[in-house]
Amino acid sequence: MAVQKLPLAKALNESLRKALETDPKVLIMGLDVGKLGGVFRITDGLQKDFGEDRVIDTPLAESGIVGTAIGLALRGYRPVVEIQFDGFVFPAYDQIVSQLAKMRARSLGTVKMPIVIRIPYGGGIGAVEHHSESPEALFAHVPGLKVVTPANSNDAYWMLQQAIQSDDPVIFFEPKRRYWDKSDVDTDAIPGELHKARVAREGTDLTLAAYGPMVKTCLEVAEAAAGEGKSIEVVDVRSISPLDFDTLQASVEKTRRLVVVHEAPVFFGSGAEIAARITERCFYHLEAPVLRVGGYHAPYPPARLEEEYLPGLDRVLDAVDRSLAY
Amino acid sequence: MTVESTAARKTTRRSSGAKRTTSAASAKKAPAAQGAEPELVQLLTPEGERVQHPDYDIDLSAEELRGLYRDMVLSRRFDAEATALQRQGELGLWASLLGQEAAQIGSGRALRDDDYVFPTYREHAVAWCRGVDPTNLLGMFRGVNNGGWDPSTNNFHLYTIVLGSQTLHATGYAMGVAKDGADSAVIAYFGDGASSQGDVNESFVFSAVYNAPVVFFCQNNQWAISEPIEKQTRVPLYQRARGFGFPGVRVDGNDVLACLAVTRSALERARRGEGPTLIEAYTYRMAAHTTSDDPTRYRRDAEREEWEAKDPIQRLKTYMENEGHADAAFFEELETESEALGKHVREVVRAMPVPEHMAIFDNVYADGHALVDEERAQFAAYQASFEGGEAE
């Protein structure tokens, strides 16, 4: 049974199970990851099957979780840390930025930090404050960290395997509003490279670059635009750091137009980096400036306003039209 | 999975004394490290009997007792209404205080008007004591705001969701009170889970060093979502205070009289310039962590039933009835008032307007910001582009 249709959350659960089975040094740490199986059930059943020594309910202190994961990594373990929600990672930010990210360089390459920090991120689930944020740029900006985010179940399964196998710290952002979306997972496939982008839909008139929760939105945009005779290519960026500019460049050289979409605020967001690099690489191919659609420079709004804040079909289509109008 | 790894798991899971383990999982059921049962300040037993304590006495009139009872009943009614409203889809989420009424009303009624409160997100009954309109608390749970009241109106700070952050704010506020030479005090609420956070421990350090007039009121409700108190500490929480250099006391958190007496005493101590106190109100989270949580996955019904017998409201009712402090008419009137409160809350919540979309851009800065202005204008133009046309 190599190919199964699984919700993204279940694919992550299967991936963690596989990692625990494959490597006795893999540990899972976090709040409520044990008996409860995590608030999103990503670790459901794992403590029951692998024991409390490997699936560890920690004290309620994010800095403590990441700090002790660093110590465990120094001792030869491969901790997979769960941060319960995006907005709760910041007590651990000091450990991540000042310690985790720099350890390899400070040790002159003698120390490895094979730590994965899983963070459910993004909005769209009607949650209260601190439960809907997209802080990926705050991590991508830090040398020493790798930042990835899957958009479908197969990538969830494989990218998490690859992140756990990596000897570098990986911030693994999980698109929480897509946890329940089902798609095929091929557990026997030979996965592609972790840090490579993927053309999710081919097109000729314009490229939409997105990752995580916005890939689905962009595919819907492409479908809607096709009805109006516009052929849109969708690139699932997958890895934010490092970022696969070659795949983006090839796409933009074909379509000559690029719109970047993410939930995070546009200002100093990852779209800014993509726009700058693609402009450098594709200056003579571009028919329009690279446009960005994302969150506003305002705190994530209360749930009843989030549909206005988040990039949806209409706002992305609007940007597509603006780009095509150049 | 190999046979060997399965066997290895079984060995480690048993983790007998012979095998040295260092993981958190191997910690035996704490807090037993101290040997003797820690002392619990109690003035009213679960059976409703009034008992004396050498350090904390309290003398309340029948009217004051009825007041405390009324506060607890109305808080519980409000809480039940909010839970129901969540089930009806009117609220996105609710964090119930069920079972913690005595801890919150006892401590809340110990405060003076000029004292200042820093709550978590579950201090609905403390808000009640401060005179905050209960429906104001529901905005963030309905998703129409992220706080939504002026903290200075009732000296009741905004709810704080990130655990423990507010204990440092409370300490800083108390440092300011001391600098101003005022004799008011500050109270910081947090829970057993948050007690593990760095911020909480740092607030203990700062408040001790600066002798800040702050009372740390920890409601130990035994559960941080699915994690029992043993995952946070090996000693009773109140004993941690000693190491930071100030007194700690454990109070029966389901005894409103004891909570009132102990908190009054700690506040007076703060006013006298003698610095912080840690109060551990030993109580129980009778409901789920929030309406999103399912406690049947991780805790026994029997445990809840044991705490049911220690109910804070019932014990005060028994006491008042036995002593003749309240008659049938009082309870009937309260029942009517309770239902009226429920109805009021329902009506207000259902009528709560969704804010104007443009509110996203309000109050981001005090002095304005060019980018916000630009985005606001773009957003307005974008929205206007749909007017008259078809919106997808």
Tell me: the pLDDT tens digits for A22-81?
999 999 999 999 999 999 999 999 999 999 999 999 999 999 999 999 999 999 999 999
The complex scores an ipTM of 0.90
Residues of A in contact with B386 (CB under 8 A): 314
Taking the CA of residue B352 and the nearest CA in chain A, the distance in Å comes to 11
Residue A156 inside a domain? The answer is yes
Please check whether residues A116 and A232 belong to one and the same domain. no
Please check whether residues A209 and A110 belong to one and the same domain. no
Please check whether residues A284 and A180 belong to one and the same domain. no
Residue A49's φ and ψ, nearest 5 degrees, are -90, -25
Please check whether residues A104 and A177 belong to one and the same domain. yes
Residues shown for chain B: 392
Please check whether residues A312 and A223 belong to one and the same domain. yes
Query: Can you tell me the distance from the alpha carbon of B17 to that of A269, in angstroms, rounded to the nearest whole number?
Result: 52
Return the amino acid letter for B170. A
B88: which residues sit within 8 A by CB, 6+ positions away? none
According to the model, what pLDDT value does residue B57 have? 87
Query: Can you tell me the distance from the alpha carbon of B88 to that of B99, in angstroms, rounded to the nearest whole number?
Result: 23
Q: Is the peptide bond before B31 cis (omega within 30 degrees of 0)?
A: yes
Among the candidates A186, A217, A244, a domain finishes at A186
Look at residue A203 and give its three-state secondary structure. coil
Please check whether residues A179 and A204 belong to one and the same domain. no
Tell me the two tokens of residue A85: 């929600």
Size of interface A-B (CB pairs under 8 A): 150
Mark yes or no for CB contact A32/B145 under 8 Å: no
Residue A192 inside a domain? The answer is no
Taking the CA of residue B55 and the nearest CA in chain A, the distance in Å comes to 33
Taking the CA of residue B218 and the nearest CA in chain A, the distance in Å comes to 15
Which CATH number goes with the domain that contains A244?
3.40.50.920
Q: Select the residue of A60, A61, A128 nearest B141 (Cβ to Cβ).
A: A128
According to the model, what pLDDT value does residue A2 have? 84
Give pLDDT tens digits along chain B (392 positions): 333 333 333 333 333 333 444 444 444 444 444 445 678 999 999 999 999 999 998 999 999 999 999 999 999 999 999 999 999 999 999 999 999 999 999 999 999 999 999 999 999 999 999 999 999 999 999 999 999 899 999 999 999 999 999 999 999 999 999 999 999 999 999 999 999 999 999 999 999 999 999 999 999 999 999 999 999 999 999 999 999 999 999 999 999 999 999 999 999 999 999 999 999 999 999 999 999 999 999 999 999 999 999 999 999 999 999 999 999 999 999 999 999 999 999 999 999 999 999 999 999 999 999 999 999 999 999 999 987 654 44
Please check whether residues A161 and A209 belong to one and the same domain. no
Q: Give the position of tokens 């579950």.
A: B122
Query: Can you tell me the distance from the alpha carbon of A46 to that of A23, in angstroms, rounded to the nearest whole number?
Result: 14
Please check whether residues A154 and A203 belong to one and the same domain. no
Residue A191 inside a domain? The answer is no
Residue A284 inside a domain? The answer is yes
Whether the Cβ atoms of residue B188 and residue B216 lie closer than 8 Å to each other? yes
Q: Supply the DSSP symbol for B163.
A: T
DSSP H helices in B180-327:
198-209, 240-244, 256-271, 301-308, 312-323
Which CATH number goes with the domain that contains A83?
3.40.50.970
In this prediction, residue A286 has a pLDDT band, given cuts at 50, 70 and 90, of very high
Among the candidates A164, A186, A208, a domain finishes at A186
Domains along chain B with CATH numbers: 40-351 (3.40.50.970)
Kind and range of the H or E run holding A292: strand A291-295
According to the model, what pLDDT value does residue A190 have? 86
Tell me chain A's radius of gyration from C-alpha atoms: 19
Please check whether residues A182 and A270 belong to one and the same domain. no
Among the candidates A158, A186, A214, a domain finishes at A186
B150: which residues sit within 8 A by CB, 6+ positions away? none
Q: What percent of chain A has pLDDT over 90?
A: 98
pTM (predicted TM-score): 0.90
According to the model, what pLDDT value does residue A160 have? 98
Q: Is the peptide bond before A311 cis (omega within 30 degrees of 0)?
A: no
Please check whether residues A237 and A102 belong to one and the same domain. no
- State the catalytic residues of A: 131
Residue B252's φ and ψ, nearest 5 degrees, are -65, 105
Please check whether residues A154 and A282 belong to one and the same domain. no
Query: Does any CB of chain B come closer than 8 Å to the CB of residue A48?
Result: no
Q: Select the residue of B25, B225, B392 nearest A32 (Cβ to Cβ).
A: B225
Tell me chain B's radius of gyration from C-alpha atoms: 24
Domain, as residue range, for A247? 198-324
Query: Does any CB of chain B come closer than 8 Å to the CB of residue A267?
Result: yes
Tell me the two tokens of residue B353: 């307007």
Whether the Cβ atoms of residue B170 and residue B137 lie closer than 8 Å to each other? no
The number of folded domains in chain A is 2
Whether the Cβ atoms of residue B116 and residue B226 lie closer than 8 Å to each other? no
Please check whether residues A174 and A206 belong to one and the same domain. no
**Among residues B216, B280, B217, which one has the least CA distance to residue B251?**
B280
